[in-house]
Amino acid sequence: MRTDRTVTHSARIYRGTAENLRRLARVLRRGGLVAAPTETVYGLAANAFDANACRDIFRAKRRPADDPLIVHVADLRMLARVAEPNEAVTRLARAFWPGPLTLILPRKPLIPDVVTAGLSSVAVRMPAHPLFRRLLRLSGLPLAAPSANPFGYVSPTTAAHVRDGLGSAIAYILDGGPCRHGLESTIVDVRNPRRPVLLRPGVITAEQLARVLGVPVRTRARRRKPGTPVPAPGLMKRHYSPLRPMRLHRRITAAMAARARSDEAWICFQKPDWACAAKNVFWLSARGDAGEAGQRLFALLRRLDRGPWKCLHAELAPAGGPGLAINDRLRRAAAK
Ligand code: AMP
Ligand code: MG
């Protein structure tokens, strides 16, 4: 039995040079963990066929064993080693892969139980980030990779965020700069291609998926009948949580901010014209662009967690496009 699985690490950040990528791919092949950038958030990757390596992911993140991992693949050939493809995969892959879309499919037996939390399905994604793709190609392995943060905290969108949260639990962090989308992938269950179900909103919307699939995409039922299985086990109400209590508002006005105490921070969706030089007023996108707002959300929540604030107030994004995904993360960040 190996004894080095509980040692304390001190993470080092690696630039994406050819030599470093070869080295990190070797780490993965040996059963080690590597945190690496994707276009959504940073992931903590391990060989998806290696049950011990995947157990180490859960240990490093202190993630409960009933919260399954997403398996990342380089191409459709690799996907076929992990999951049973169907017609929905063909269509969605052509439209959205590589990209921020995760599909739930029937699993193949090579995937160990620890990855899927014992489910008969597996979550699969073909990421677009060039550095993550290089790791997939160089290692030749499908990589299981949840977000590279301690379980329940805000997902990391820079290499420094990863080190802040997991610096003593892992040894290798690949730096690819800030993530392009900053929000976790859209997850859609396409085991039945005629009845796709959206499990997690992301920058790829249900409307876009429906257009490509030619059938409506239902949203996961909010209330389950007692006794029915959990559709997406990890999608609990409270998640992505900043340390400070957070309150949500449909709209934040000058009057609200003026009435409040100076140790309360206000996160507006767009730069308000009344913000002036107020030190406790922040915004996600100066011009109110939902893509940019999503990209900045987690970084801002982390920054505010380090500030003097006792309470955060956040304004909901306008519905439509990534607005739904932003509001999903805000609601869970604010959940008690
Ligand atoms: P992340 O922490 O961003 O990697 O998200 C992984 C999430 O994907 C989990 O928390 C689950 O909600 C979802 N997921 C992974 N595998 C499955 C699966 N087989 N069936 C349903 N949802 C899954
Ligand atoms: Mg996560």
Band of pLDDT at residue 166, cut at 50, 70 and 90: very high
Nearest to 157 by CA among 335, 334, 300: 300
Domains and CATH numbers, the chain: 12-213 (3.90.870.10), 246-334 (no CATH)
Q: What is the mean pLDDT of residues 24-30?
A: 98
Q: Is 48 in the pocket of ligand 1 (CB under 6 A)?
A: no
- In angstroms, what is the span from residue 279 Cα to ligand 1's centroid? 38
Q: What is the mean pLDDT of residues 243-255?
A: 93
Give the end-to-end CA distance of the chain in Å, rounded to a whole number: 41
Residue 156 to residue 41: CA distance in whole angstroms: 6
- In angstroms, what is the span from residue 14 Cα to ligand 2's centroid? 22
* Structure confidence at residue 234 (pLDDT): 55
Q: Is 127 in the pocket of ligand 1 (CB under 6 A)?
A: no
Of all ligands present, the nearest one to the C-alpha of 240 is 2
* Structure confidence at residue 223 (pLDDT): 53
Which residues are found with C-beta within 5 Å of the ion, ligand 2?
146-147
Q: What share of the chain is helix, strand, coil (3-state, %, to 5)?
A: 30, 20, 45
- In angstroms, what is the span from residue 231 Cα to ligand 1's centroid? 9
Residue nearest to atom 15 of ligand 1 (CA): 68
Question: What confidence tens digit (pLDDT) does each residue in 271-320 have?
Answer: 999 877 788 999 999 999 999 999 999 999 999 999 999 999 999 999 88
* Structure confidence at residue 81 (pLDDT): 98
Band of pLDDT at residue 224, cut at 50, 70 and 90: low
Q: Is 235 in the pocket of ligand 1 (CB under 6 A)?
A: yes
Residue 261 to residue 258: CA distance in whole angstroms: 8
Ligand 1 atom index nearest CA of 119: 19
Residue nearest to atom 22 of ligand 1 (CA): 232
Residue nearest to atom 21 of ligand 1 (CA): 232
Q: Is 149 in the pocket of ligand 1 (CB under 6 A)?
A: no
Average pLDDT of every residue of the chain: 92
- In angstroms, what is the span from residue 117 Cα to ligand 1's centroid? 10
How many CB atoms are located within 10 Å of the residue 314 CB?
29
* Structure confidence at residue 183 (pLDDT): 97
Cα-based distances in Å from 302 to 164, 251, 293: 10, 22, 14
Q: Is 24 in the pocket of ligand 1 (CB under 6 A)?
A: no
- In angstroms, what is the span from residue 71 Cα to ligand 1's centroid? 10
Residue nearest to atom 4 of ligand 1 (CA): 146
Question: What confidence tens digit (pLDDT) does each residue in 57-88 have?
Answer: 999 999 999 999 999 999 999 999 999 999 99
Question: What confidence tens digit (pLDDT) does each residue in 30-41 have?
Answer: 999 999 999 999
Band of pLDDT at residue 1, cut at 50, 70 and 90: very low
* Structure confidence at residue 3 (pLDDT): 45
Q: Is 199 in the pocket of ligand 1 (CB under 6 A)?
A: yes
